[in-house]
Structure 1
Amino acid sequence: MLDQPLEILQPGCVRNGAGQAVRAASWLRDRGLTRPVVIADAFNATRLNVLGLDGAACVSVRPEPDLFDLNQAVTAARAARPDVVIGFGGGSAMDVAKLVAVLQDPVTTFDDISGPGRAGPRRAALMQIPTTAGTGSEAGTRALITEPGTLRKIATESLHMLADMVILDPGLTVSLPGPVTAATGVDALAHCVEAFTSRRAHPVIDHYALEGIRLIGRFLPRALADGDDLEARAALLLASFYGGVCLGPVNTTAGHAVAYPLGTRHHLPHGLANALIFPHVLAANQGACPDKTALVAAALDLEQGRPLLQAAHDFCAGLGLQMRLRDHGVPEDDLPEMAAEAHAIRRLLDWNPRDLSREDILALYRAAY
């Protein structure tokens, strides 16, 4: 399989390590960039000083942004005429930053660029600075936006949405509460596991995926035990980045397809939605890829000799996560509609190692309920 064609696109420069965030301003100065626009969530919009960018134009975005949020951000950013767009936050902020960067032409709309390979060259540079260790959005060329009417996640992908600079500074993540650290960590884990077990898995990507899984298994409990543990925080950022590298050439499969309706319909944070679904899809796929599933279990140090579903569930619950859908306000009578919606996400499900029917997905939801 090593001779199977594969293209990996990675950011132009990655700065990794504690204290790197403040170098964002010097990177701009070195390139003569003077009109930054920062796309951030509400919390990070209040701490641009950690980047040395006090006074920079800033656009705040909500979690799980939809097309209305995107259009507002594009309008605000166009008014500032940026020469660099900076995503500062979790996946929502970084995805919107990618799209804003390629929508600076006043006549270009989202409909013009949605889908694969349609976004043209951008006028502004792009910097990504993650403050959660989950989505890996900083590493890739894909962005997701919810369509309000249908609640579908619309994927846009273009090499022009690849960052020129990525800063992975673990100091930016020490403020994350424990439940967010746990949920985003399992999101990164899901990226790695789903790419590792995908029908289009590739040996090159397998190395990134398996190392990401190992880092999360070793360091996520440490980060939860001591949120100021910079080595653990740095390991999780790196694992998240590795997961983002996996998303480009391989992408996710059933886990994310089944998790999406929890976010779009019931507004669960993306990381939490993936954590709730992760044990169920891992166990459901075990028979289709037993060898790789065994490697995942070993990398996470799951207890041998126990049913995989229970072991994976206990791993997530041991992170402090409430692992039942009912505990998060998901109504039981909505499960059939969610199953139909998830089953329609063929861009992910078609690459799952096992074919899942709508009834199979409904059974997963009921088991997770």
Structure 2
Amino acid sequence: MTDLLRPIDIDRPARIAFGSGQITTLGTWAREQGIRRCLVVAGGFNAARVALLDLPGEVAVFGEVKPEPDIPNLDAALALAKRVRPQLVVGFGGGSAMDLAKLVAVLPGSGQTLQEVVGPEKVAGRRVGLAQVATTSGTGSEAGSRALVTDPATQNKLAVQSRHMIADLAVVDPDLTMSVPPAVTAATGVDALAHCAEAFTSRKAHPTIDLYALEGIRLVGRFLARAVADGSDREARAGLALASLYGGFCLGPVNTTAGHAVAYPLGTRHHVAHGLSCAVIFPHTLAFNASVMPDKTALMLDALGLSGARDVLAASHGWCATLGIEMRLSALGVPQDDLPLMATEAHAIRRLLDNNPREMTRDDILGLYRAAF
């Protein structure tokens, strides 16, 4: 499925500052740009440590980002942006904060509504600066061009993709992830793994992305268990931060496939955190696709330290479980009688399922949910 002759467009942040202590880059950069008004988009924990960003001038903070942001959450952030009229928007947190920051940077004053920009490349432009500061290692949103928000009326995620939402500066400072607790470290680490694995096996897979995808998997395989066991392990934190960044590189030109489509209803319908949703589903979709991607599946298992495993589901499921991740939907508050409706909703996410290397029917998805239950 990987075709050297197929064209591909790759967009990256104009500048990426990676490494311990790189948080200091943001303030210096903002001063060089002549910034005088900033708006930071963050959740409650990061809103309390905005001083770390050392931003110049007037700094307003939207500190109410939800774990799974929805349209009302976005509307509240947009309202503040209209009052503040920032020259620079900063996403400070995990994927939820960074996704909202992207939309806050492009929508105010554009004359466009959220509904008008849903889909690929519908955003008219951007008139303010955008910086992203990642504080978790999972989503890779700091490097990507997509933003997701939930529509509470339909309980579906709305996806906006635009090169105008790519950051001018992305800061990946692993020191900022040291406070992430073990359970969240584990789940978000598997989310980064899923980004890489799904891109590696996608119908849109491409050699220019494959190297990031496979190396991202290797990094997760090498460092995730270490970071879960010892959150102060700086080398492990740095390895996961790089894996997450590589996963973000995979999302733009290739994107995810069935794993994320099947995981989304867990978050939108039952408020299971995105990383945990992806972690629970990951072994099942990896095994489902193994028959049509045997060589790449073998490479991924080898990268995770599972060389020679004959039962893909058992091996990958066990690998996730040893990280302490709760792998049963029943234990996550998902009711069994909702599985059929979840399967219908997941099957309708064609933007992802159409890229899966193996056709996945609604009944296939229902079977995955029941196996994970």
Give the TM-score band, short-chain normalised: over 0.9
Structure 2 contact 13–169 (Cα < 8 Å) conserved: yes
Q: Which runs of 4+ in 1 moved over 2 A?
A: 303-306
SS in 2 for 1:288: coil
Aligned residues: 369
Give me the whole-angstrom Cα distance separating, in 2, the residues matched to 1:357 and 1:125. 43
Give me the whole-angstrom Cα distance separating, in 1, the residues matched to 2:70 and 2:229. 35
Counterpart of 1:59 in structure 2 is: 62
Matches within 5 A, 1:12-161: 12-53=14-55, 56-60=59-63, 61-105=65-109, 107-161=111-165
Give me the whole-angstrom Cα distance separating, in 1, the residues matched to 2:111 and 2:312. 52
What letter is aligned with 1:16? F
Say which of 175, 181, 187 aligns to 1:183. 187
Counterpart of 1:256 in structure 2 is: 260
What letter is aligned with 1:57? A
Structure 2 runs not aligned, ≥5 long: none
Shift of 1:363: 0.4
Structure 1 contact 78–106 (Cα < 8 Å) conserved: no
User: Structure 2 vs 1, CA of residues 297 and 106 (structure 1 numbering), >3 Å: closer, same or farther?
Assistant: closer
What letter is aligned with 2:28? S
Counterpart of 1:198 in structure 2 is: 202
SS in 2 for 1:354: coil
Structure 1 runs not aligned, ≥5 long: none
Shift of 1:50: 1.5
Matches within 5 A, 1:315-326: 315-326=319-330
What letter is aligned with 1:221? A
Say which of 4, 29, 34 aligns to 2:6. 4
Matches within 5 A, 1:205-244: 205-244=209-248
Say which of 357, 363, 367 aligns to 2:367. 363
Query: TM-score, with normalisation over the residues of structure 1?
Result: 0.98
Give me the whole-angstrom Cα distance separating, in 2, the residues matched to 1:215 and 1:2. 25
Cα RMSD, aligned residues only: 1.1
Shift of 1:306: 4.0
Give me the whole-angstrom Cα distance separating, in 1, the residues matched to 2:235 and 2:262. 32
Structure 1 contact 23–52 (Cα < 8 Å) conserved: no
Structure 2 contact 18–172 (Cα < 8 Å) conserved: yes
Cα deviation 1:4-45 (Å, max 9, x = unaligned): 201100000000111111331111111101111000011100
Give me the whole-angstrom Cα distance separating, in 1, the residues matched to 2:104 and 2:176. 23
Cα deviation 1:259-295 (Å, max 9, x = unaligned): 0000000000000000000000000110011110000
SS in 2 for 1:351: coil
Query: TM-score, with normalisation over the residues of structure 2?
Result: 0.97
